[in-house]
Amino acid sequence: MELEQETFDETELVTQTLNSQTDADARMVEFIKKHRFSALVDGICMGIGFVFLILGLAMPMLMVQQLIPGLLLIIGAILCLTAGAILEVYQWAKLG
């Protein structure tokens, strides 16, 4: 009788351990999905900002008439790069 009780307790313990491990794995998967999405958003913001910056610098060099659109692209680049940097810093602050 006592042997059966110990066996039952051991199987219950194993089951609880497996369930808690599964819950921890599920939480980790959700954590990774959230940070993967935020990394994608950061990358898109930074990428668009760098493209705007390169176009903003190149357009006035190619044609003098493109000075104002070039300056507007540089302003857009600064805004996109700032947004991407702020999101990145925010994500690192949440991880720490």
| pLDDT digit string, tens, across residues 41-73 | 888 889 999 999 999 999 888 888 888 889 999
- Per the structure block, which two tokens stand in for 58? 């190149």
Task: Supply the pTM of this predicted model.
Answer: 0.62
Q: Rounded distance, CA 9 to CA 26, Å?
A: 26
Q: Rounded distance, CA 91 to CA 41, Å?
A: 11
Kindly state the percentage of the chain with pLDDT values over 90: 22
Domain boundaries, the chain: 2-95
Question: What pLDDT score was predicted for residue 13?
Answer: 58
